[in-house]
A and B are shown apart, each in its own frame.
Chain A
Amino acid sequence: MRDPAAVLLSRFAVEVTLAAVTAAIGAVVTIGALEFGTGWGDGGPQPGYFPFYIGIIVMLASGGVLVEAFANRERLRATAFLRREQGMRIAAFFGPMVGFVLVASLLGLYVALIVYLTATMVVQGHYRLPRALAVSVGSAVIFYLIFEVWFRVPLLKGPLEALLRIH
């Protein structure tokens, strides 16, 4: 795995990118704070005072991180942030996770968890479909019993539950 061709991202690249992103967030916060007074009124700081300087400190500290990254660039360039194998694992785990959130926000948590658990078990775990379905539907029922029945906390439901009249 020491093969440099297998390195997808160097630590240096990610350090610099993240510092740039945090600096940008700092700028957004500072600009957002300008909507209110950022000065010092009679009774101390005005509402925009804190966010304004928080934003500025974020930008300055991000600058500090950037300087540190460039000072150590030789070492950081040689350090791998993500190798090909790791990247594949992350993609295989993170992709379905995004899919789960997408389906959940459209069709509700119950449908999403059944689809997600079944799919990951069949595709990644190489289980047979009936078994995967049994596990995922069983989990959905357990979630329903724990949250809706026992603790009376409703979970996000979609059109399917409305159709089946499950509240």
Chain B
Amino acid sequence: MENFGNLMDGFRIAASGYHVVIMVAGVLLGILVGVLPGLGAPNGVSLLLPLTFTMDPVSAIILLTSMYWGALFGGSTTSILFNIPGEPSSVATTFDGYPMARDGRATHALTLAFLSAGTGALFGVAVITGLSGWVTQFALKFSSPEYFAVYLLVFASFVGMGNASPFKTVVSMMLGFAVATIGVDTISGNVRLTYGIPDLVKGISFLVAVIGLFGLGELLQTMEEGLRFEGIHARISPREVLKTALTLPRHWVTLLRSALVGCWMGITPGGPTAASFMSYGLAKRFSRRKEGFGKGEPDGVVAPETADHAAGTCAILPMLALGIPGSATAAVMMGGLMIWGLTPGPMLFIERPDFVWSTIASMYLGNVIAVILVLATVPMFAAILRIPFSIIGPMIVVVCFVGAYTVSGARLDLWFALAFGVVGYLLKKLDYPIAPMVLAMILGDKTEDAFRQSMLMSKGSMSVFYSNPLVGTITTLAILLLLWPLLSRALQAARKRPAAGGNPAR
């Protein structure tokens, strides 16, 4: 019940006129970012973050989270109308969304996508609301060794659960750590890895890296493929929307299953993209109309959309409560929290309950506003994509570089953004995962500090990571995940049974 009272306080702050205006602005910017290729949620939030440095943290987080919801919705719009996923997490929506639109059921597909996405998001926020109090109590038992063990678990899960080659995951992650160590070492005060370049003393900002890796890198890839938009015109009539809304309860099994998958993948660092694919796969496996999938099956739209948004919202919980982001976008927001002078983690719930609970309350409101706005503005944003790409492309380039410059007003950051753009393009084309690199840049310092503080506590003995049941369990889990690629191969060889070690997430 304490949660409920806190939530009501949160609503009082979040529902103020100023904050509703911010939500509308954030959602609209988010849809724009989600619709435009090359600009996705992580770098949309990165671009906006420098502008929030002077804002009140509550207003700032509302702006950024609203932008995130908008971006998720925008990504679905282009998936359905143009067969071009605006976001990696809406790739699975193209499988059935585009065929539906092509068959003249565009409104049906869009409405279904938005409503199931909204349902997934609200389910996710409800889960967050329920878990927050519990997570906080749990997290209060945390000190440095526990934090390090959890960070280890996060990074190990990328190696163990990722689809990419484990070597590539490790290279990507470790390069991120290397970038994080550049600059002043917070514990000893030494200036590391600057090679005598004074501009490197303050380190390389992860925001510049995200803008390069996700924004410019993705743009280069899009350009290479020779972009052509062949969209389907959609006019949304309220009657059609209502008719579709009435069919939504028929999909309740898919909705529930997908929401659960999404919540799980959002809280663990699986992320929305993995969630949407997994949910689509499950929907297809359990469907009575398997052969309809890929040809315009409504369940094929409901499943990925619900999971995508449930994961997106749930990713906020571990970020706030533990300081561990469940998605790349949540990672960037967490970086923002630290810049605003807040420390993500259990103490945040005790020191700034107003911040935490107005964030959660704004997630309810923001998603409802987002569903309404996205339905109302689909024709407008679809029209934006009909502007020739020789204008839009360079415009996005300019926005990315301006965003990179505003991070700290440094000329050198323009070159860094360019370099990260090339890196992002190469890594993506060669199937190196980028999320672990970004997460390592953001969490690198904290991980190292947690380890070194644990070592200070234990006078250099590793046994501290097995000093109580909690930290021991997490450490063991992390080591198992880290060794999973080896373990699963060994198991397969031993049993000579293919796919014996598949699907570690279940």
Q: Which residues of A contact B (CB under 8 A)?
A: 11, 14-15, 18-19, 22, 25-26, 29, 32-33, 35-36, 40-48, 50-51, 54-55, 57-58, 61-62, 64-65, 68, 81-82, 85-86, 89-90, 93-94, 96-98, 100-101, 104-105, 109, 113, 116-117, 120-121, 124-125, 127, 135, 139, 143, 147, 151-156
A44 touches B452 (CB 8 A): yes
Chain B residues with CB under 8 Å of A116's CB are 394, 397-398
| A-B interface pairs (CB < 8 A), number | 167
B405 touches A156 (CB 8 A): yes
Q: A56 — nearest CB in chain B belongs to which residue?
A: B174
Do A68 and B167 form a contact, CB below 8 Å, given A50-B448, A54-B178, A101-B414? yes
Contact of B406 among A46, A135, A153 (CB under 8 A): A153
Chain B residues with CB under 8 Å of A98's CB are 418
B414 touches A105 (CB 8 A): yes
B9 within 8 A of A: no
Chain B residues with CB under 8 Å of A154's CB are 409
Q: How long is the Cα–Cα vector from A100 to B224 in the complex, in angstroms?
A: 19
Chain B residues with CB under 8 Å of A120's CB are 390, 393-394
Q: How long is the Cα–Cα vector from A47 to B181 in the complex, in angstroms?
A: 10
The secondary-structure label for the interface of chain A is helix
Contact of B174 among A15, A57, A94, A125 (CB under 8 A): A57
Q: How long is the Cα–Cα vector from A50 to B395 in the complex, in angstroms?
A: 40
A65 touches B167 (CB 8 A): yes
Within 8 A of A (CB), among B453-493: 454-456, 458-460
A57 touches B455 (CB 8 A): no
Q: B429 — nearest CB in chain A belongs to which residue?
A: A81
Q: How long is the Cα–Cα vector from A45 to B181 in the complex, in angstroms?
A: 14
A101 touches B175 (CB 8 A): no
A44 touches B455 (CB 8 A): yes
Do A43 and B460 form a contact, CB below 8 Å, given A68-B165, A101-B415, A151-B51? yes
A153 touches B390 (CB 8 A): no
Q: How long is the Cα–Cα vector from A85 to B225 in the complex, in angstroms?
A: 9
Chain A residues with CB under 8 Å of B397's CB are 97, 100, 116
What would 16 more interface pairs be, CB under 8 Å, given A89-B226, A109-B402? Answer: A29-B178, A44-B451, A45-B451, A45-B452, A51-B178, A54-B174, A61-B171, A89-B223, A97-B421, A101-B401, A116-B398, A125-B388, A147-B402, A155-B405, A155-B406, A156-B405
Q: A51 — nearest CB in chain B belongs to which residue?
A: B181
Chain A residues with CB under 8 Å of B50's CB are 153
- Of the listed stretches B120-128, B182-190, B252-260, B349-357, name the one at the interface; the rest are far from the partner chain: B182-190
B342 within 8 A of A: no
Q: A14 — nearest CB in chain B belongs to which residue?
A: B430
B192 within 8 A of A: yes
Q: How long is the Cα–Cα vector from A104 to B51 in the complex, in angstroms?
A: 20
B51 touches A18 (CB 8 A): no
Shortest B123–chain A CB gap in Å is 35
Do A104 and B401 form a contact, CB below 8 Å, given A22-B175, A40-B460, A93-B220? yes
B391 touches A135 (CB 8 A): yes
Q: B406 — nearest CB in chain A belongs to which residue?
A: A153
Q: How long is the Cα–Cα vector from A44 to B454 in the complex, in angstroms?
A: 8
A65 touches B168 (CB 8 A): yes
Q: How long is the Cα–Cα vector from A141 to B448 in the complex, in angstroms?
A: 45
Q: B398 — nearest CB in chain A belongs to which residue?
A: A113
Shortest B414–chain A CB gap in Å is 5
Chain A residues with CB under 8 Å of B388's CB are 125
